[in-house]
A and B are shown apart, each in its own frame.
Chain A
């Protein structure tokens, strides 16, 4: 009799904390086939967009994702501007690129931390996330929000970056660069990471092209596509930077691409901040009417190309909005990267494409409402140490 074993992972992924369901078909430890089931989180955004005005639509698409929350608005505005033939002011271009690149920074760091967590390397996770935190503070300084920045609108941006804010931003960037450099050197030299990630989950160049993969997933397999270079929107054609590619196509190559991209992002933001000092003028043009027609806009999100197609009938609402997020084309590559690998490696291979994540938490103070007690950082640390001691005692390894 032909029998096979299937390990179900999901529908709520225990590590990625997202609703997706992988069925791993295994022979012993080896994965022989994989099936992906999605649709547990379908929110009908495309349908909802049909009942929103062009201005409201930007806010709607911003809520597609909490991590790349500015990517969808940029792609959406690019599409509306393509439809109506709008050219945005130069100052708005720089601001768009600054917000877009800050997002890439925090998103890549978020992923690097999670990648560490997924392979049980929690030190890396904690360190990287600690260094990601000040970048969210920069966001708060620039936009007023840590996530969901609400900066984009068809025709430009909603908020200016005042000249007085630039020195503090530059300083924050310098600090971030130092820390990312330290992490990058440590990660790329780390024997544990090399042992776990090199040669694992290889996506060849041909496969990346066949599956139409985008972003770091494609670039780590030697496909040098990047919308920022290929169709220079915002300020990407006005500043100097380069596309990062690797040839290996394994998980390690994806780590290298993302970490090195952080430095390019910092380079872009620095140049944009410089240009803001000399480029004065409006931050948006008035958009009165959207004519009937079609528009296509895309943006290089941290995970790859985000694509928006809009059709208008001349009213103030779109007839159709089509959104393609990068994970939609990157996730199916697991059909070729996972089979043949072990179950333990499947976790990190599936995470290597950086599937979209929707939450950012911050801890300032924990309030126990029932007892009316406030816990601060020191209290929580004490609590955590007490628990560790308790566990040690139970396991008989306490030194007390």
Chain B
């Protein structure tokens, strides 16, 4: 790790780009970033600060598809989640798989389950869904909820 406190380093590096910053507890950080910056952010956190990429979660919210990139600083007992809202109209974002090999599968999964197009993904094939699953149907997109 290049800096004694990678969380502070990230804060300093992207100071003018961070949309929001939340410290839920000393172990859990959530930051929101614009989608244009995702490759730079992923490269800084993974390659320069030495974090482990745990996984990404896709969440369908009424406003946008949120992609949450979870990074672990194992020895510091901290998990940093980078939230990136992707609007549903132009539902695409740059792939981080060229930077992090471990992100290859999850981006394919989010693409087919939530309909996010990952630009420049090295292998944009389906991962889980069957070959004859209809195009444009995304199982994890929300329908209006009843009985809640």
A138 shortest CB reach to chain B, Å: 31
Return chain A residues, CB-CB under 8 Å to B52.
Answer: 209, 212, 225
B82 interface residue per 8 A CB criterion: no
Q: Mark A305-327, 1 if CB is under 8 A from B, else 0.
A: 10101010001010110101000
Q: How far is the CA of A1 from the CA of B137 in the complex (A)?
A: 40
B35 interface residue per 8 A CB criterion: no
A307 touches B140 (CB 8 A): no
Q: How far is the CA of A42 from the CA of B126 in the complex (A)?
A: 13
A1 shortest CB reach to chain B, Å: 25
CB contact between A211 and one of B79, B101, B139 (< 8 Å): that residue: B101
A289 shortest CB reach to chain B, Å: 15
A374 shortest CB reach to chain B, Å: 44
A210 touches B140 (CB 8 A): no
A210 touches B127 (CB 8 A): no
A150 shortest CB reach to chain B, Å: 26
B55 touches A42 (CB 8 A): no
A66 shortest CB reach to chain B, Å: 20
Residues of A34-61 at the interface with B, using a CB-CB cut-off of 8 Å, are 38-39, 42, 44, 46-47
B59 touches A320 (CB 8 A): yes
Residue tally, chain B, CB below 8 Å to A: 36
Q: How far is the CA of A44 from the CA of B28 in the complex (A)?
A: 27
B102 touches A311 (CB 8 A): no
A39 touches B102 (CB 8 A): no
Q: How far is the CA of A322 from the CA of B54 in the complex (A)?
A: 12
Q: How far is the CA of A196 from the CA of B75 in the complex (A)?
A: 35
Return chain B residues, CB-CB under 8 Å to A39.
Answer: 126-130
Return chain B residues, CB-CB under 8 Å to A230.
Answer: 72, 74-75, 77
- Determine which residue in B54, B57, B105 has the highest number of CB atoms from chain A within 10 A of its CB, and name it: B57
CB contact between A296 and one of B59, B81, B128, B130 (< 8 Å): that residue: B81
10 A-B pairs with C-beta separation under 8 A: A39-B129, A39-B130, A82-B28, A85-B25, A212-B53, A225-B74, A294-B30, A296-B79, A307-B54, A309-B70
Q: A322-B55, A324-B55 are in contact. List 6 more A-B contacts (CB 8 A).
A: A210-B101, A230-B75, A309-B57, A320-B57, A329-B55, A329-B102
